[in-house]
Structure 1
Amino acid sequence: MLVIGLWLSKERKARSKAIDLHNVLGSAIRQQTGAWDASIADASSTCKWPIATYQAILLHLIFAALYRGGGELDLDLKPSLAPADAELLERLIISCKKLGMLYYPNILQHYCDSILPGYTWVSVEEVKRFDLALFKVCGAFGISGKEEHRTGNFDGRIRACDLQFPPPRNTPLWNAVTKEEWESAATADMDRHSLDDPLPLQWISNSAEIVELIATGSPALL
């Protein structure tokens, strides 16, 4: 976020610093793949849902497109990432798939043991909103899933049918900054997450064709 904020200031020195920080972050991401890259064979057992790292990688890729102007257009007239960045995005997508981060029962199982009020709700919402952001970025750059051969059944693209969880909810609560805003937006059922009822009828994947059409302008190729 700091890098993007510096860039959006439109000041020459700030933009130069943003690019420098972006390059440093890119090097760090690639040097520490062992801590986050579950796309590597047998690596998923060592990656424990590093959400903050995945968010940083996604922001890193968004900025890469921002300051490079989106690159050239592909045949589908969508902006493209540089090859190294496209590969990084595909590795991130495959990692999320292998870790089960797009599947609601897995999300619930990962966070439902917490006894802290509100923590489970925030954590579950964070994963859902990250998954949706990843889906939108994948669609924006027309990622084709070229890495399928490396990882068996997991390709490097997210489709609407992969979004096996309910939509995010209670945006005012998610955006709450102060205690007063939180208490005003909180609802009685916010902490009612149950592994016995993962709400399958509410999953985004049930409306995959409509979601894909809205997000990309073309029907889903399932």
Structure 2
Amino acid sequence: MPPRISSDTVGPPFQCSYPGCRAQYRRKEHLNRHVANHAQGDRFSCPYCERTLTRSDLLRRHIWNYHPRKQPLPSRTRKACSTCHIRKQRCTGGSPCNACQRRGITCSLTENGNAQEGCNIDKNINNLQRPPDIQVGSALSKSNINSFSSSDISRWVAHDYIDIYFKNFHPVWPFLHPGTFDLSKEPCILIQSIVMIGLWIEGGQNARDVAVDLHHKLCTAIRAQMDQWFIPESGSPQNTSTSWPMATYQSVLLHVIFALFNAKEQKLPGLSLRYPLQPDEYELLVRLVQSCRRLGMFSYPNMLARHGPTAPLALVWVNVEEIKRFGLALYKVCRMCTPSDSTGGDINDAKRELLGLHDLSFCMPDSDEVWNAPLSVGSEILQKVASQTNLRDNRDSKGWISQTSTVLHDTGVAFDWI
């Protein structure tokens, strides 16, 4: 029988390589668990108190010991929440998950750790040959554009195409705020409009056919419910107490941009190098411009009047930036299109019914870096930016974009150059 080797003569084979640490372990898994304590990565916050722990198993043990009446976290995350999936971040599960808790936003995970059904997001779109039967028109005939139930939404809406939107389309048209975009809370009309753009950008013929079909159905629904978002001439102008349906307006703008994509594919631009829109699509654009004008949306004082004196500065900054960027995107679209039946003689009439520089009574937007920052990083920056005094003074009307119209436009000069 071989002699027994004393445990005192054999040293631990696994040593911690962290600078200044001399910890040693006999088993590799024990060393790995110890090394995790040195890491500066994810921390696991207790959803029931302010305690923060370094490992998920310690968090579950903490909840078991100190919050016995609470439901413990699941040992594994079966599905990432909507926000973490869009940002391609690790989701720890729970209700809410750690990432959403740090950001202070609503998490799409329910108490049992499963994702809630919002617009029936289905990541796997394997068959795009046949456009889905969305039945948006019948759904909207009974309810508001922004509130129809998930049962009326097709299951083909996919995270992948939302990712494509923010990766490829958003850098060119940055009028949605990525940091506060929450898939579980956004209106379905906006989500499907975003997916429509993602399908088109994907480039495959089948995907584009689905995008075109979705565009036609959603535009029909938007027009059918125009009384819910269009501000008629008899409405109260510049009324800041009237709600601004930004999500619907953003959706309408996305559909007009999509119509320009189609026009570019099918038609040559006119002599003014503008692309002609079909009458119903052009009417949608005109109605959007009219509504924004009558609400006074693009007036900086009206933007501020929507918020009380105690509103957080970061919230005010995001909302003002969102309207600014939406206004500039809408102006850009108005500069790119014309009615399909227009002639050279009535181009000035078309210009007057669309958005012009004189409508934009605000300064240029602020930092792109802050606007595009993830909320987990950008929230601290937002607080600093919103409280800075060296930003553009939006209150000074001399710095508003509308002031340039007096220099760049003359009623006696019809040259369409800007």
If the TM-score is normalised by the length of the shorter chain, which range does it land in? 0.7 to 0.9
| CA contact 1:74–1:80 (8 Å) conserved in 2 | yes
| CA distance, structure 1, for counterparts of residue 228 and residue 297 of structure 2 | 16
The answer on 1:11 being equivalent to 2:208 is no
- TM-superposed CA distance for 1:59, in Å, is 0.3
| Greater Cα radius of gyration, structure 1 or 2 | 2
Q: Provide the C-alpha distance between the structure 1 equivalents of 2:260 and 2:280, rounded to a whole number of angstroms.
A: 12
Once superposed, what is the RMSD of the aligned Cα atoms? 2.9
Distance 1:190 1:172, change over 3 A: farther
Is residue 378 of structure 2 the alignment partner of residue 176 of structure 1? no
Counterpart for residue 276 of structure 2: 80
Find 2:257's aligned residue among 38, 41, 62: 62
Contact persistence 2:232–2:291 (CA under 8 A): yes
Aligned-pair distance for 1:173?
A: 1.0
Q: Retained in 2: the 8 A contact 1:34–1:43?
A: no
1:143-182 equivalent positions in 2, closer than 5 A: 144=347, 156-182=353-379
- Note the residue ranges of structure 1 that are not aligned, 5 or more in a row: 149-154
For residues 48-79 of structure 1, give each alpha carbon's deviation from its aligned partner in whole angstroms, at most 9, with x where no partner exists. Answer: 21111101000001111213426443342311
Identity %: 34
CA contact (8 A) 2:314 2:382 kept: no
Deviations 1:171-216 (CA, angstroms, capped at 9, x unpaired): 1111111422442465354488xxxx7221221112236777xxxx
1:106 to 2:106 alignment: no
1:125 alignment partner in structure 2: 321
Q: Give the whole-Å Cα distance in 2 for the aligned partners of 1:26 and 1:188.
A: 38
Amino acid at match of 1:177: P
In the alignment, is residue 199 of structure 1 matched against residue 364 of structure 2?
A: no
Partner-residue secondary structure (3-state), 1:80: strand
TM-score by length of 1: 0.79
Contact 1:145–1:157 (CA under 8 A) maintained in structure 2: no
CA distance in 1, matches of 2:406, 2:333: 18
Give yes or no for contact 1:121–1:190 (8 Å, CA) kept in 2.
no
> Could you tell me which residue of structure 2 aligns to residue 34 of structure 1?
227
The structure, 1 or 2, with the larger RCO (C-alpha pairs under 8 Å, 6+ apart) is 1
CA contact under 8 A between 1:37 and 1:95: conserved in structure 2? yes
Q: 1:210, 1:219 within 8 Å by CA — same for their partners in 2? A: no
Tell me, in whole angstroms, the C-alpha distance in 1 between the residues paired with 2:333 and 2:199.
21
Higher helix share: 1
Match of 2:217 in 1: 24
- 8 Å contact 1:58–1:89 — kept in the other structure? yes
Question: Which residue in the other structure is 2:336 paired with?
Answer: 140
**Conserved in 1, the CA contact under 8 Å of 2:314 and 2:386?**
no
Q: SS of the counterpart of 1:111?
A: coil
Stretch of structure 1 that moved more, 86-95 or 76-85: 76-85
| CA distance in 2 between partners of 1:156 and 1:26 (Å) | 21
Q: Aligned partners of 2:264 and 2:242: how far apart in 1?
A: 33
Q: Which amino acid counterpart does residue 206 of structure 1 have in structure 2? A: Q
Distance 2:377 2:396 in 1: 30
Name the CA shift for 1:184/1:119 in 2 (closer, same or farther; >3 Å): closer
Given the alignment, which residue of 384, 387, 390 partners 1:187? Answer: 384
Residue of structure 2 equivalent to 1:53:
248
How far is 1:115 from its partner?
2.2
- TM-score when normalising by structure 2: 0.44
CA separation of 1:137/1:209 partners in 2, compared to 1, >3 Å: closer, same or farther? farther
Show CA shifts across 1:135-159 (max 9, x none). 11001114757589xxxxxx52111
Amino acid at match of 2:327: D
